[in-house]
Amino acid sequence: MNFRHVGRQNLLGWHYVWMRRGLGFLLILACLLAVASVPVQADTKRITDGDDVEGPLDIAWIKHEHGTNAAGLRKLVHTVRLYERWPVDRLRHRGFINLFFDLRGDPDWREERAVYITYDNGKLRAELYDFAADPPTFLRTVPMWRPNGRTIKFALRKSDLRRRPFSYYRWFALSFIEERHPLCGESGGCDDHAPDRGYVRHDL
% of the chain exceeding 70 in pLDDT:
78
Lowest mean pLDDT among 4-8, 97-101, 125-129, 139-143: 4-8
Give residue 9's pLDDT: 44
Three-state secondary structure string covering the chain: CCHHHHHHHHHHHHHHHHHHHHHHHHHHHHHHHHHHHCCCCCCCEEEECCCCCCCCCCEEEEEEEEEECCCCCEEEEEEEEECCCCCHHHHHHHEEEEEEEEECCCCCCCCCEEEEEEEECCEEEEEEEECCCCCCEEEEEECEEEEECCEEEEEECHHHHCCCCCCEEEEEEEEEECCCCCCCCCCCCEEEEECCCCCEEEEC
Q: What pLDDT is recorded for position 41?
A: 53
pLDDT confidence of residue 73: 82
Q: Which of residues 71 and 183 earns the better pLDDT score? A: 183
pLDDT at 14 over 70: no
Question: What's the residue count for the chain?
Answer: 204
Q: What band does 95 get if pLDDT is binned at 50, 70 and 90?
A: very high
- 186 touches 179 (CB < 8 A): yes
pTM exceeding 0.75: yes
Please report which confidence band the pLDDT of residue 168 belongs to, taking 50, 70 and 90 as the band edges. very high
Please compute the mean of the pLDDT values over residues 89-106 and round it to a whole number.
91
The answer on pLDDT for 108 being more than 80 is no
